[in-house]
Amino acid sequence: MKRKILNLLPQFLCNCILKLYYRITKSSILLKDSKVNAGSFLEDYNYLGRNTHFLDSYLGLASYIANNSIIKRTKIGKFCAIGDNVRTSLGIHPTNDFVSIHPSFFSLHPPVKLAFANEQLFEEHKYINAEKNYVVEIGNDVWIGNNVLIIDGVTIADGAVIAAGAVVIEDVEPYSIVGGVPAKEIRKRFNEDEIIFLLDLKWWDKDLKWIYENKEKFNDINIFTEYKSDKK
């Protein structure tokens, strides 16, 4: 109900109320000119940089997004670091069968005031879930460098690193480092056993007390993997 009420408010006022709410109740930092709408959710201890737009998306615990990024319809996990000028929800256009790629011929809501279609003839986004909430999913402990573009329908798994300037057009495996146009795997961050251990442990789902108690172990993967998963 509260979100429905917010949607009835002018966009500027809605943005101001939400930013104040997240600053006070969620220990989050939202800088000048950042924008968040009623369709989004920030979990806790988050950060949005200057002129970053976070729309209809989910931001997990302690994840942050730097300046001038536009994140739409994206689910982001915990402890992620996202750089400047990152873009998601880019949309897609037909490249086969349709004579023209222009939305006026297939969309009920083209960006220009010229429409020839009487019905939606082409899906303009590739969603990752049946509810069609999100077009991109980013896992936990993911680092995305500056000027990265992520195409609709992509899932970036836990622990991955996306090099600056990459264009990600396909799914990224756990703890992979990828880069280039289009993005290709460069190497893995850890060996196979270490990756399996980390994915099984899911340290990002531990409570903050556990993280504080084990914070020194995060400096060395060899020490960290000595942790026994049956401990609390």
Q: Is 102 considered catalytic here? A: yes
b or e along 81-104 (b: 16 or more beta carbons within 10 Å of the residue's beta carbon)? bbbbbbbbbeeeebeeeeeeebbe
**Angstrom distance (rounded) from CA 174 to CA 163:** 15
Which residues are paired to 63 by β-bridges? none
**Catalytic annotation, pick one of 53, 93, 102, 125:** 102
**Angstrom distance (rounded) from CA 3 to CA 122:** 30
What is the β-pairing status of strands 184-188 and 176-179? antiparallel
The residue written with tokens 């490249």 in the block is: 95
Torsion of CA 32, 38, 40, 41, to 10 degrees: 90
**Angstrom distance (rounded) from CA 196 to CA 43:** 27
* H-state helical runs in the chain: 2-8, 11-25, 192-201, 208-213, 221-224
Backbone φ, ψ for residue 194 (5° rounding): -65, -40
Q: Which residues belong to the active site?
A: 102
